[in-house]
Amino acid sequence: MAEISLNNVTKSYGKVSVIENVSLEVKDGEFIVFLGPSGSGKSTLLRMIAGLEEINSGTLTIGGVRCENLSPGQRNVAMVFQNYALYPHMTVRENMAFGLYNIGLPATEIDKRVADAARILEMESLLERKPSQLSGGQRQRVAIGRAIVKEPKAFLFDEPLSNLDAALRVRTRVELAELHQRIKSTIIYVTHDQTEAMTLADRVVVLNDRKIEQIGTPMEVYSRPASRFVAGFVGSPAMNFIKVKVSGGKVATIITEDGTKLPSVKTGLASGSYEFGIRPESLRVVAKGGDIQAVVKVVERLGDRTLVYARLNDGQMLTAQDEGYSTAQPGQTVQLSFDMPHGHFFDADGKAHYVQ
């Protein structure tokens, strides 16, 4: 049993509120990622689960046990920090075993747990080395191993890859995904890196301004964002946003600020002003028959695809996608075609509405 339940959890420092009435259900064995910008409250929420921050109001249940008033050691969770915090004078084996000796486990049980963790993390050959003899990725694996040997109900990761270089982050990310498949434990993982969230999570919890904006699978969050914030935060390159006027009805007429009429779609929207959002892969450069014209400013060639940054008549920049061997050049006028069924409409409150 490793379900984690948060019910109307609140945290403040004096008059400064950092978490407001957050409720969340984490299933047994689920890999949950807290994603959000700096200051959104994701690390604070993780530390509240760990017991490192006090919960001012609300309840926390881990494995069926009320925990909001228990000490960190009584919650049976293991936390892996951004800083590895390894003892430099101890070997890998000693670093992993140290906490177990402190709680008085028998030596034979400690040896077994360390050996099992080393096997899971494929680091048996590193057990007699000291941290100074390890790479950054290997040190991170030791920190994870130190958590594994505790056999906790859940693992809590606080931006564990942020100190690694780009190539090592990719490799360690894959290792974390494989680790979860092997141990089947409940994991809550904090990051501001949406690539980590999209590749690791069973579900993503998007936080912004002290509250949860959306909870969903990676592709639900990407393809059906619940708000203007989620749509703009998730996705690289970012979603395009165009201010439009919508004439409501079963089939809506959509007109941009410069008077360009976009293809009509079924929306069920009331007439009014909206932002129309569309991702670059749904805005294509075409040879003819496009929906709108724009002047190319920058061309970014990525091999299998090309990103074209172009300016509309009203000065707004859009990012469109073209083939890898695109002939687009700066200064050229191109035609852009909208894949309207993949568009999104956002009202004045930032709430999402979708093409039907």
Question: By three-state DSSP, how is residue 49 classified?
Answer: helix
The answer to whether residues 223 and 246 belong to one domain is no
For the four alpha carbons of 35, 38, 40 and 45, in that order, the dihedral sign comes to positive
Tell me which of 177, 206, 233 is where a domain ends. 233
Using left for φ > 0, alpha for ψ between -120 and 50, and beta otherwise, residue 172 falls in alpha
Between CA 17 and CA 12 the distance in angstroms is 4
Dmax of the chain from CA atoms? 77
229 with 320, same domain: the answer is: no
Distances (CA, A) of 90 to 131, 143, 146: 8, 13, 13
Do residue 228 and residue 253 come from a single domain? no
User: Is the same domain home to 174 and 288?
Assistant: no
Q: Is the same domain home to 170 and 186?
A: yes
- CATH code for the domain in which residue 180 is found: 3.40.50.300
Helix %, strand %, coil % of the chain (to 5):
30, 35, 35
Q: Which one-letter amino acid corresponds to residue 221? A: V
Same domain (yes/no): 72, 202: yes
311 and 165 in a single domain? The answer is no
Do 58 and 163 lie in one domain? The reply is yes
Domain boundary among 204, 233, 262: 233
- DSSP structure string for 226-270: SBHHHHHHSSSSPPEEEEEEEE-SSEEEEEETTSPEEEEEE--PP
Domain that holds residue 24: 4-233
Of 207 and 265, which is predicted with more confidence?
207
Judgement on whether residues 185 and 298 belong to the same structural domain of the protein: no
> Mean of the per-residue pLDDT values for the chain?
90
Same domain, residue pair 62 and 208: yes
The contacts of residue 243 (CB under 8 Å, 6+ apart) are 256, 257, 273, 274, 275, 276
Q: Are residues 202 and 186 in the same domain?
A: yes
pLDDT tens digit sequence for 112-137: 999 988 988 888 999 999 999 998 88
Do 60 and 48 form a contact (C-beta atoms < 8 A)? yes
Which amino acid, residue 275?
A: E
Q: Band the pLDDT of 66: cuts 50, 70, 90.
A: very high
Share of the chain above pLDDT 70, in %: 99
Q: What CATH number did the domain enclosing 259 receive?
A: 2.40.50.140
Q: Which residues pair with 34 in a beta bridge?
A: 190, 205
pLDDT for position 181: 87
Q: Is the peptide bond before 237 cis (omega within 30 degrees of 0)?
A: yes
Mapped onto helix, strand or coil, the DSSP state of residue 108 is helix
* Structure confidence at residue 356 (pLDDT): 64
Q: pLDDT grade, residue 69 (50/70/90)?
A: very high
Pair 337, 190 in one domain: no
- Count of domains forming the chain: 2
- Name the pTM for this structure: 0.89
**Residue at a domain's end among 199, 215, 233:** 233
- pLDDT tens sequence across 141-151: 898 889 889 88
Is 1's pLDDT higher than 60?
Answer: no
The predicted-structure confidence for 191-244, as pLDDT tens digits, reads as follows 998 889 999 999 999 999 889 999 999 999 999 999 999 999 999 899 999 999
Q: Cβ(193)–Cβ(117) under 8 Å?
A: no
